[in-house]
Amino acid sequence: MKDQADKLRQIISNIKNKNTVVLESQEKEMPKRTSRVITVTSGKGGVGKTNVAVNLGITLSEYGFKVIVLDADFGLANIDVLFGIVPRFTLLDVINNKKNIAEILTEGPKNVKFISGGSGVEQLAKLDKTQLERFIENMSILDKLADYIIIDTGAGVSENVISFVMAADEVLLVTNPEPTSITDAYALIKMVSNRDKNKNIKLIVNRAENQVEAENILRKLSMVAEKFLSIKLSPLGYLINDEAVPKSVRMQQPFTIAFPKSNPTKQIRDICKKLVQIKVERNQGGVKSFVNKLVSFLNN
């Protein structure tokens, strides 16, 4: 009986060792998981950039993706207002080594998590090498926690905003039909094109009066950018002006939740579907790469 028990233990041990070798082999062959890091920006304030970022995150989550939204608009942090939730901690707590990145994640609606940037972004350029390495390793944890990381930047063409745009693998540029909004969007595109004419910029028109107006703006802005700046934009979609949006803001709820059958909800779903279907480059580096590039741009 003892010999049989010893043989059984040996067989089980061999199976475990074999499975361990197989798993280790599979881990080496599998590419490292990284999140899609998407920056949502605009040439000027008041165009609805944050609303697009928040509702895009909600819709992606409803499609089954894990989503984290980072509020990097440290001048006017609005994501907590739209969610109706006040976060306890901010990115500054991570930078000061008081919390790790998982501890500052705030639970939002529909399983979306969000991070308040606070004044943390401004502090990144002041970190020494050891602090920076610790911060980057901490942030890289997000690659394991999210499929999509949506970053809501400040508005305008400040160096901080441009740094976020240049560091992200994908950029969603939001504009509206106002001439000043279109002019400022073009100014932002120009600044980006001076640094990288291959930058992946996707264009969204918000608050258009109708489909014709939206498609005209998408087409003309794309055409002018390619002709005069040699940068190719990707029209992603539009949102028609609708009372459901300001109503939802007053309710402190994303419009995709407050008015799930409204036209803006249908239109953000169309945008979301296009975004999900876009094939991304395998060499996208996820959060770690993004933070490395961001700090590099902020220090220049």
Provide the pLDDT for residue 19: 46
SS3 45: coil
For the segment 142-163, the average pLDDT, to the nearest whole number, is 91
What pLDDT band is residue 280 in, cutting at 50, 70 and 90? confident
Instruction: Tell me the domains of the chain and their CATH numbers.
Output: 32-299 (3.40.50.300)
The tokens for 242 are 């609708």
What distance in Å separates the CA atoms of residue 68 and residue 70, rounded to the nearest whole number?
A: 7
What pLDDT band is residue 117 in, cutting at 50, 70 and 90? confident
Provide the pLDDT for residue 198: 93
| DSSP structural state of residue 188 | H
| DSSP structural state of residue 90 | B
For the segment 188-206, the average pLDDT, to the nearest whole number, is 95
Highest mean pLDDT among 9-18, 67-76, 124-133, 202-211: 202-211
113-116 and 106-107 as β-strands: parallel, antiparallel, unpaired? antiparallel
SS3 178: coil
Provide the pLDDT for residue 296: 86
Provide the pLDDT for residue 53: 96
Q: Where are the beta strands (DSSP E) in 210-253?
A: 233-240
Percentage helix, strand, coil for the chain under 3-state DSSP, each rounded to 5:
55, 15, 30
SS3 58: helix
- pLDDT tens profile 49-90: 999 999 999 999 999 999 999 998 765 667 888 888 889 998
Provide the pLDDT for residue 3: 54
Provide the pLDDT for residue 26: 41
Please name which of 131, 67, 126, 129 lies closest in space to residue 94, comparing C-alpha atoms: 131
Provide the pLDDT for residue 210: 98
What distance in Å separates the CA atoms of residue 50 and residue 194, rounded to the nearest whole number?
A: 26
